[in-house]
Amino acid sequence: MSRPVKVGAVIITMGNRPEELRALIGSIGKQDGEPVQIVVVGNGSPVPEITEFASVVRTVELPENLGIPGGRNVGIEAFGPGGRDVDILLFLDDDGLLARADTAELCRAAFAADPGLGIISFRIADPETGVTQRRHVPRLRAADPMRSSRVTTFLGGANAVRTRVLGEVGGLPDEFFYAHEETDLAWRALDAGWMIDYRSDMVLYHPTTAPSRHAVYHRMVARNRVWLARRNLPAPLVPVYLGIWLLLTLARRPSRPALKAWFGGFREGWATPCGPRRPMKWRTVWRLTRLGRPPVI
């Protein structure tokens, strides 16, 4: 008889959403099947009072904010090196809420049915309207959020990862701090032969927000875009990818302060270390292209 598939969940928090955090933990606790193990990481802040969940939640409090990827990597390691103490890890935003009680079981079934599946991206829906923003559908053809499909990236705060992937290609890039860390991991996973699915039936409720609400958004989006290309793309594609994103940014007509921050981040991306360079194979470029998103956009 095979052993139960173990599922863990990593939640990072800055301590400013205590009620939402409790609701999320409650929704994880209601999942069908084997109980989901939970680690909450206080990212540069104490974890809010969650004594009612003390028997099922482990907490880690960091003395400084390590950013989104750094905090999630600490959560991964709380499940053993590379998360090896569990088979699947859920990464969930602390102001999200699992909409259904069968999400963990759907993840178990999906990974069991497809040995080549490495990552699942959930559908994010507004809890009041049920609307899924286009930016939360991780593909170019995003008009129909109810269509599940193979994709080339995933949503950082609403996903499930087979821990074998993390053991094989490593975790998220700490130095990114915020923005594009998921695509960096996705490209490395795809280059190692894993696949990524977007599943519309696995839903995380999350209030509709704009990413630009973060003060560092424009600078880090630009800096990390450069780092992403420098780390992962074959040399001939680096200027193509970044040139296209420069044109797209200008076409969106951002405000003068936003554009100034963007160009500052773009320069920073070239002037600062980006971490180890491991360019993807050309067959991975072709694979991404066949999946509908060549790595130049």
| Confidence (pLDDT) at 209 | 77
The residue type of 189 is: A
**Three-state SS for 151?**
strand
Q: Which residue from 220, 156, 221 is spatially nearest to 186, judged by alpha carbons?
A: 156
User: Which amino acid is located at 34 in the chain?
Assistant: E
What pLDDT, in 10s, does the model give residues 140-171?
999 999 999 999 999 999 999 999 999 999 99
Helix boundaries (H) for the chain? 18-29, 67-77, 103-113, 163-169, 181-191, 217-232, 237-251, 256-271, 282-290
User: What structural domains and CATH numbers belong to the chain?
Assistant: 7-209 (3.90.550.10), 212-290 (no CATH)
Q: What is the pLDDT of residue 281?
A: 98
Q: Low-confidence residues of the chain, pLDDT below 50?
A: none
- Say how far apart CA 6 and CA 77 lie, in whole Å: 15
3-class SS at 225? helix
Tell me what pLDDT residue 215 has: 57
Structure confidence by residue, pLDDT tens digits, 210-247: 765 555 899 999 999 999 999 999 999 999 999 999 99
- Tens digits of residue pLDDT in 121-135: 999 999 999 999 999
Nearest CA-CA partner of 148 in 109, 199, 202? 199
Q: What is the pLDDT of residue 216?
A: 84
What's the whole-model pTM score? Answer: 0.95
